[in-house]
Amino acid sequence: MLNTNNNSTTDANMLYLQHKLRLEGIATSKKLLDLMLEIQRHRAASLASLGGDLFFENRLYNIQKATTQHLTDLSQNKESLLTEPELQQLNGEWVTIRRQWQKDSVMQNFLLHSHLINLILKINAELFERAGHSKLDEHHRALASYCLCDLPRLIEAAAQARGLATHCAAQKSNTERTVSKIKYLADEIRQLEAKSQAKIVHSSAENYRITQQARASNNNQQSMNIFLGLLKTHFTHMNDPQLLSDEIYTVGSQFIMATHDLLLKTYNLMGKNMDSELYEWIFRPSHYS
């Protein structure tokens, strides 16, 4: 309970600043994941190009331009929740990828992109503590973990599978190593999706209802099943996939963007959460003013 004496305003100011920090964490996370989505597109397009697909190669310039702009925005805004070494590492690894992707082998290309994305995922997950989401109740903690950890990991597993499958479709063949990796990623997508659903159950009934409605409205489950079905048919049971590179890229992207849409709705739920004490102070009876 907040004190109703002269210290109440100071207490409320502190609670407001903590709430403001959590909102800043959400804004920073959105920027990081926008950057991640662009690098994932670059990975898929460069892998397709290495497989001989000129259509994807022609898209790389715009993807590179957008990625560099995202990094510039992060650096210029001096996000208080990101450290200078983190920003330098993000920029440095991107410069390396952009300059030498054509010189890399397929697997080197895949690993370099994935290493950078894993760095983004690590920083994003640490916002759970840095922005103070861990200090709220268990319902908010479950929601924040779902948003900052589980859904971004699910998106990345799907994006890895999309990138490798797009490459295989471009070169019209599946290598043993790639088939093994795609099988692993398909299993990981199922596991991460189940884990994320188990996590959101621990949030409030209202948060769970809203997220399930969002999943249904954008056909999240259906788009995942279609994507996994194509991976199984063309990239784990065949030596030569009978699918165009743009087709598997598009289907994979539909699942990724459906999950990202769910993520955006979860951000909105996180932003509406407040400390119960701050809520009490804002809506206190007028005679306490």
User: Quick check: 109 and 169 in contact, CB under 8 A?
Assistant: no
pTM reported for the whole predicted model: 0.92
The whole domain housing 260 covers 7-288
For the ranges 16-20, 51-55, 165-169, 281-285, the lowest mean pLDDT is seen at 281-285
Residue 1 lies in a domain: no
Q: Is residue 228 part of a domain?
A: yes
Q: Residue 267's closest CA among 22, 67, 44?
A: 22
Nearest to 37 by CA among 182, 152, 140: 152
**Beta strand segments in 26-102, E:** none
285 pLDDT higher than 90: no
Average pLDDT across the chain, whole number? 90
pLDDT (average), residues 143-152: 96
Token pair listed for 268? 């909105």
At 28 the pLDDT is 94
Q: How far apart are CA 145 and CA 256, in angstroms?
A: 19
Least confident of 40-44, 64-68, 207-211: 207-211
H or E stretch at 97: helix 84-100
253 is written with which tokens?
Answer: 């992207």
Work out the average pLDDT over 133-159: 94
Q: 7-21, 156-170, 242-256, 271-285 — which is least confidently predicted?
A: 271-285
Residue 277: band (very low, low, confident or very high) from pLDDT cuts 50, 70, 90:
low
For range 132-151, the mean pLDDT? 93
Residue 8 scores a pLDDT above 70: no
What is the number of domains present in the chain? 1
Asked whether residue 75 is assigned to any structural domain, the reply reads yes
Residue with the two structure tokens 């699918």: 243
Report the run of H or E that residue 169 belongs to, with start and end: helix 151-171
pLDDT of residue 4: 47
Predicted confidence band at 65 (pLDDT cuts at 50, 70, 90)?
A: very high
Name the token pair of 239.
């030596």
Would you say residue 2 lies in a domain?
Answer: no
Tokens read off for 21: 């920090």
Q: What is the pLDDT of residues 227-260, one digit of tens each?
A: 999 999 999 887 788 899 999 999 999 999 999 9
Which has the minimum average pLDDT: 151-160, 194-203, 277-286?
A: 277-286
The Cα–Cα gap between 97 and 116 comes to 9
pLDDT at 289: 47
Report the pLDDT averaged over residues 114-134: 96
Tell me how far apart the alpha carbons of residues 249 and 177 are, in angstroms, rounded to a whole number.
20
pLDDT at residue 180, rounded to an integer: 94
pLDDT (0 to 100) of residue 238:
73
Tell me whether residue 169 is in a domain: yes
